[in-house]
Structure 1
Amino acid sequence: MWIISRKFAEQFTRSEQLSAQLEPVNRGLEQQVEQRTRALREEQVQRLAFMANAFHDLRTPLFVVQGCLDRLESGAGTGGNLTGVMRDRLDFMRKLVEDMFLMAKLEEKQVIFDEDRVPLAPLAERVTDGLREAAVRQDVRLTLEVRDRCIAWGDDLRLEQALQNLVTNALHYTPPGGVVTVRLYAEGNEACLEVRDTGPGIPLDEQDKVFLRYYRTPGAKRQGSSGLGLSIARQIVLQHQGRITLDSRSGEGSAFTIRLPAVRRPGTE
């Protein structure tokens, strides 16, 4: 009887020890489940907000087009002016739908990227040259500074699209008389494309949200922007094993920097 009691006590002690060893593991698993549940809830909230914003931005141009058609039918407006307004709003809707489709494909890893050496200096020149007229219309000075002739590896077209989205975003937030500067330089083993503006800057508590789909900083203009440009740029850069960093302070402008693995030592041809 004494032997049985002793064995039972030993078994009970081992069970307590095992339970004590498993307790931190269980706590860790519970924390992981809580974190994942919280992340899923936040993702659901973001998706609902995205759909609501997308619905708003698709519906508003439709109302404008409908109003123009009503005026044309009633003879209250001239064809030239109204068709210009309708074309502008239809172009915006097309861009929004294209951005939504591309964003969905990027998130599902369904976009096929070409792989080749990409000289970033001519890429930056194409982007700044292509947006020069838009900058002039907004009375914003757009400049390019090439400090190092860096080369990255990836899809030339998609990387150009990512940079163009950053520059377009900077122009969108820079007031008349301001400056948007694109800089290409090397930093360590990274090729860096920086887009710096003299806009209002982004509050610190808003900076972790700027890459969310359809997010706009408080007071931002809705017209002309799909709200997906930064999200698309980030997805493109991430799938090139790169990253985008943000340096911004309220009232001091913002700097978004694409950082890509450099193919070879920057500065050499």
Structure 2
Amino acid sequence: ARLERAFTAVRHFSADAAHELRTPLTILKGEIEVTLRSPAAEEEYRRVLASCLEEVDRLSALVEDLLFLARSEGGAVSLPQMPVNLADVLAEVAQALQALADTADITCTVASSPTLWVQGNASLLFRLIFNLGENALKYTPVGGTVTVALSQRGREATLEVKDTGPGIAPEEQARIFDRFYRGDPARGRGGTGLGLALARSIVLVHSGRITVESVVGQGSCFRVVLPLVPSS
């Protein structure tokens, strides 16, 4: 069964890579070809090179995301067993989200959190919380609100990311964590379409669960539940 999952993950990675890399590579190739065909000033060459470098960086990040998804689906992701304080991770994420919110003229509130320890990888947990916060900001209109809160419920840590965006139709909620799923065209806001798929994979490799509650016209709440480190 594990070998079958690994083969399935490889097939998915190949299909995803072909799907997502084709367009940016075509653009990159075209920009270079046009520049080489005609003489240009040094400033123009620098502009094109800077643009190409930016696209290469984006493609590199995309490939890393696709590889992580493939490895996690194939059961090949091994996490160091290290206690991580979610409150510290949330404090770091809060700074990044606040900068995005200020630019978008959205109120972003990150509630103060108790010390909550989980087993896992701090970098992946940062990515998880940031992805959910960034997704909420992306779909929240100017003047709207995004709220991020962390709490303890029994032996579990619960993270909630709420927004006042357009909401997600019931028929879309079951597919919102699928890679590349866009759903309602009104929700098309750019990006790779991998953010929520990555969030789900990160949650699963931390033995947690992720759900969404949403009402069209009122907003959404993404909820992540992770097991706490047992008290000694």
Seen in structure 2, the aligned counterparts of structure 1 residues 250 and 70 have a Cα distance that, compared at 3 Å, is same
User: Which of 33, 51, 55 does residue 18 from structure 2 map onto?
Assistant: 55
Match of 1:114, SS? coil
User: Which of 218, 224, 231 does residue 258 from structure 1 map onto?
Assistant: 224
Q: Which residue of 2 aligns with 1:9?
A: none
1:114 to 2:80 alignment: yes
1:216-227 mapped onto 2 (5 Å cutoff): 216-219=182-185, 220-221=187-188, 223=190, 225-227=191-193
Q: Check conservation: 1:245, 1:257, Cα contact below 8 A.
A: yes
Q: Can you list the C-alpha shifts for 1:141-168, whole angstroms capped at 9, x where unaligned?
A: 3321025332222222222222222122
**For structure 1, which segment, 75-84 or 106-115, has the greater mean C-alpha deviation from structure 2 after superposition?**
75-84
Q: Check conservation: 1:149, 1:184, Cα contact below 8 A.
A: no
CA distance in 2, matches of 1:100, 1:136: 30
Q: CA deviation at 1:222?
A: 6.1
1:127 to 2:101 alignment: no
Q: CA deviation at 1:260?
A: 1.1
Seen in structure 2, the aligned counterparts of structure 1 residues 115 and 245 have a Cα distance that, compared at 3 Å, is same
1:237 to 2:203 alignment: yes
**For structure 1, which segment, 129-138 or 185-194, has the greater mean C-alpha deviation from structure 2 after superposition?**
129-138
| Aligned-partner residue type, residue 96 of structure 1 | L
| Aligned-partner residue type, residue 131 of structure 2 | N
1:103 to 2:64 alignment: no
TM-score normalized by the length of structure 2:
0.81
CA distance in 2, matches of 1:207, 1:70: 43
Q: CA deviation at 1:65?
A: 1.7
Seen in structure 2, the aligned counterparts of structure 1 residues 188 and 203 have a Cα distance that, compared at 3 Å, is same
Q: Which residue of 1 aligns with 2:151?
A: 185
Q: CA deviation at 1:75?
A: 3.9
CA distance in 1, matches of 2:48, 2:141: 28
Q: Check conservation: 1:120, 1:152, Cα contact below 8 A.
A: yes
| Aligned-partner residue type, residue 221 of structure 1 | G
Structure 1 unaligned segments of length 5 or more: list them.
Answer: 1-42
Q: CA deviation at 1:236?
A: 2.0
Q: Which residue of 1 aligns with 2:27?
A: 64
Seen in structure 2, the aligned counterparts of structure 1 residues 124 and 206 have a Cα distance that, compared at 3 Å, is same
Match of 1:134, SS? helix
Q: Which residue of 2 aligns with 1:204?
A: 170
Q: Can you list the C-alpha shifts for 1:9-52, whole angstroms capped at 9, x where unaligned?
A: xxxxxxxxxxxxxxxxxxxxxxxxxxxxxxxxxx9xx959x93x
Q: CA RMSD in A?
A: 2.8
| Aligned-partner residue type, residue 126 of structure 1 | E
Structure 2 unaligned segments of length 5 or more: list them.
Answer: 1-7
Q: CA deviation at 1:264?
A: 5.7
Q: Check conservation: 1:135, 1:142, Cα contact below 8 A.
A: yes
CA distance in 2, matches of 1:127, 1:58: 28
CA distance in 1, matches of 2:39, 2:223: 51
Q: Check conservation: 1:192, 1:257, Cα contact below 8 A.
A: yes
Q: Sequence identity of aligned pairs in percent?
A: 38
Seen in structure 2, the aligned counterparts of structure 1 residues 57 and 176 have a Cα distance that, compared at 3 Å, is farther
Match of 1:233, SS? helix
Q: Check conservation: 2:150, 2:157, Cα contact below 8 A.
A: yes
Tell which structure's C-alpha radius of gyration is larger.
1
Seen in structure 2, the aligned counterparts of structure 1 residues 58 and 238 have a Cα distance that, compared at 3 Å, is same
TM-score normalized by the length of structure 1:
0.71
1:152 to 2:118 alignment: yes
